[in-house]
Structure 1
């Protein structure tokens, strides 16, 4: 008689490209990856399950996850030994998000627009700040500046100080969690 539950092993997401702000949060644009189970009891049967409703219901799935739609996916494996005893792995959660983040609007804050026009942004002011509003909450913002009409861009800070004479173009790149 065997009433001992089998060792379930560890479920991982193989070939997952974890994109976005963090490379370890499993929030990604990657719609294709594999489930991988290691360390389970030898000779046991493995059933892979997926939930798309925060674990309320589970459906059987395959090792290969392909062309997933945007959404939250939870995965687990059920290991069954020869006697019919079962155990489950810890749940692995993946958020697939391929939607472009809301960029927001970039403005020049605290800029004193001197000269003939008060709105042409031709100025003697060498110190001002870049300000981005309306971007997706929780996103990472990278500010860029070009001094060659947009041919090349370099990362810059919010505070623009002691600028030399010249033409400056600014843009903000918004990266969401995925």
Structure 2
């Protein structure tokens, strides 16, 4: 086998780690398995990334800013976001489950918190107005987390069997209610 460049070695290790972590979660993957998949010695994995945990943190990334289909006015975000999650279900599920399953590791738990804050709450809060924008963004994140947990951790059979359009309509509207709540007269806010 021809000698690979350092960049090619790192890319191969990242790809192997990402695939295995998404399939099995953090705790069910070893450095040896990552190395075998990447066709490198396990020492190379450690030399390039420092540890399995560091590789996991490097490859398990998610952000709502990376989704062009979410470049919609805030008043349309609820349904659009839920539709996006369900359309990209396998990828979203893999990252969500990998982070949740690895959450008992301190650094991974910290990454889970950072992903929650940086990848969802902060970008959403930045699009909102009003003195309670932070609270509404956090409640929206909690609402979305609840759906993902029910579907993919608990394995709620009814939700899993429900047509995605129904979930998008109902859950998207619930999410929208947090993002652009109606004023006391019942008129939806424009923010």
TM-score bracket for this pair, using the shorter chain length = under 0.3
More helix by share: 2
Scaled by the length of structure 2, what TM-score is found? 0.23
More strand by share: 1
Scaled by the length of structure 1, what TM-score is found? 0.24
Rg larger in 1 or in 2? 1
